[in-house]
Amino acid sequence: MDSISRRSILAGGAAIGAAAGLGVAPARAQAWPNRPITMVCPWGAGGGTDQTARIVASILERDLKQPVSVVNRTGGSGVVGHSAIATAAPDGYTIGMITVEITMMHHQGLTDLNPTSYTPLALMNEDPPGVQVPGNSPYKTVKELADAIKAAPAGKFKASGTGQGGIWHLALIGWLGAMGLKPDHVAWVPSNGAAPAMQDLAAGGIDLVTCSVPEARAMIDAGKARSLAIMADQRNPQFKDVPTLNESLGIKYSVGAWRGIAAPKGLPADIQARFVAALKSAYESKEFQDFMAARGFGTKFADPAGFAGFMANGDKMMAEAMKAAGLAKKA
């Protein structure tokens, strides 16, 4: 009796599942989305990526008339979440927020996933790194700092901002490379994120921090640190006084931590188009812009083609920086 009823439940469940699958396939074009959408966030709740994902999800929800729930899938330094997005069914019901790490992790041999493992939908945000020095530092401009770094012996200057091989470390390596210096000319002090690095900067333990300007904001506002430049094409409208590297040094070097929305590979073109339209209007909405501005997050949009090109370019830059620093596995 027991086994029979269990088997029939199993069969019934399978039948429902099959029916649902069949029902979705032909009706997809008109009916999508007809059930809740999951947006995977590879980083923990409360962080910058999570906040960005949640605001995008809440705006998408209104546009698509279906709940969009953000699911944090953390672990494996982002690998778990990124692979959850890539390996989900490409039915338009699972999308995710991918981050700059996707252009870095595969060079380290941590995963096989790379930017081409996804159907790109839209780039939503980019935060370029700044060059921060202590408030009482003798260097008033980034040029003075750059000259001092060049003149100093290797390892004399200490920098921090994130862990070894993290995005801000690679940003520093790229900048040093653009000045014709070796990656270890400035010693990297690994830290657990930007906040402790900024604290150590204020306490005089290190000479510069290459985290994003919003991350350094609290210390800058308190007068304990100054931002000398940002590694971007243009100035940040919120921090108008901070020049770009190009302006002050004539170095065309830009890099940044970015976040974008992507779907598993093989997403039908019609669904992709619908998503892109929704994401574009979400990006342009006042709500999104205000939210990002309030948190000091940079905004940058790119459509699928632009996003793919952006990622390919970033991937190449990261490969070079990581190879130069001896961080890449396949040297």
Partner 1 sequence: MRISDRISGVFLALLGAAAFWGGSRLPPVPGQQVGPSAFPMVVGAGLVIVGILIALHIGRSFEEQAEAELAEHSQPDPEAELYEKRRQWLALLPPCLLVFYYLVSERLGFIITAAIMIGVLAWAFNARRRLILPVALGGAVFIHLVFFKVLRVPLAPGLLPMPW
Partner 2 sequence: MVMALDVLVAILASAVYGLVVGSLPGLSATMATALLVPVTFYLSPIAAVATIITASAMAIFSGDIPGCLMRIPGTPASAAYTDEAYAMTKKGQAETALGICLWFSALGGIAGTLSLILMAPALAEVALSFSTFEYFWLAILGLMCATLVARTSPIKAIAAMLLGLLISCIGIENPAGTPRFTFGSTDLLGGIEVIPALVGVFALAEVMRALTQKDIPPIPHRRLGSILKGQWALTKAYPKQQVRGNIVGIIIGVLPGAGADMAAWVSYAMAKRFSKEPEKFGTGHPEGLIEAGASNNASLASGWVPSLLFAIPGDTITAIAIGVLYMKGLNPGPTLFTEKASSMYALYIIFILANIIMIPLGIMMIRASSHILRVPRALVMPVILVFCAVGSFATGGNNLFAVLVVAAFGLVGFTMEKNGYPVAAMVLGIVMGTMVEQSFVTSLIKSDGSILPFLSRPISAILALCTFIALFWPLFAWLRRYKASFDAASPAR
Minimum Å distance from CB 12 to partner 1? 8
CA 37 – CA 73 distance, rounded (Å) = 15
Tokens of 285: 């909405």
**Residues 57-96 contacting partner 1, CB under 8 A:** 69, 71
Of residues 9, 18, 29, 293, which one binds partner 1 by CB under 8 A?
9
Instruction: Measure the CA–CA gap between 320 and 303, rounded to whole angstroms.
Output: 26
In the complex, the smallest distance separating the C-beta of residue 13 from partner 2, rounded to whole angstroms, is 20
d(CA 33, CA 121): 16
The residue among 311 and 325 lying less far from partner 1, judged by its C-beta, is 325
Q: Measured from the CB atom, is 105 or 302 closer to partner 1?
A: 105
Stretch that binds partner 1, among 125-133, 136-144, 183-191, 267-275 (CB under 8 A): 183-191
Binding site for partner 2 (CB under 8 A): 44-46, 71-77, 79-81, 83, 110-111, 155, 158, 163-166, 187-192, 195-196, 199-200, 203, 205-206, 218, 327
**Quick one: which of 32, 139, 175, 188 contacts partner 1 (CB under 8 A)?**
188
Q: Which is nearer to partner 2, 17 or 190 (CB)?
A: 190
Task: Say which entry of partner 1, partner 2, none residue 326 contacts (CB below 5 to 8 A, set by partner kind).
Answer: partner 1
Residue 164 touches partner 1, criterion: CB under 8 A: yes
Nearer to partner 2, 48 or 130 (CB): 48
Nearer to partner 1, 177 or 304 (CB): 177
Min separation Cβ 289 and partner 2, Å: 23
24 versus 218: smaller Cβ distance to partner 1: 24
Residue 297 CA to residue 289 CA, distance in Å, equals: 9
Please report where in the chains the tokens 């940044």 appear, as a residue.
256
Matching residue, tokens 């010693």: 187
Instruction: Pick one of partner 2, partner 1, none as the site partner of residue 181 (Cβ within 5 to 8 A by kind).
Output: none
Nearest distance from C-beta of residue 43 to partner 2, angstroms: 9
Query: Least distance in Å: CB of 187 to partner 2?
Result: 6
Q: Determine which residue in the list 8, 13, 116, 313 makes contact with partner 1, applying CB under 8 A.
A: 13
Contact 82, 265 (CB under 8 A): no
Instruction: Enumerate residues 97-156 that contact partner 1 by CB under 8 A.
Output: 155
88-96, 140-148, 180-188, 219-227 -> range binding partner 1 (CB under 8 A): 180-188
Mutual angle of helices 304-325 and 167-178, in 10-degree steps:
80
Q: How far is the CB of 179 from partner 2 (least distance, A)?
A: 21
- Which of 109, 150, 326, 330 is close enough to bind partner 1 by CB under 8 A? 326
**Out of 63, 144, 147, 184, the residue judged to bind partner 1 by CB under 8 A:** 184
Residues that bind partner 1 (CB under 8 A): 9-10, 13, 38, 69, 71, 155, 164, 183-184, 187-188, 325-326
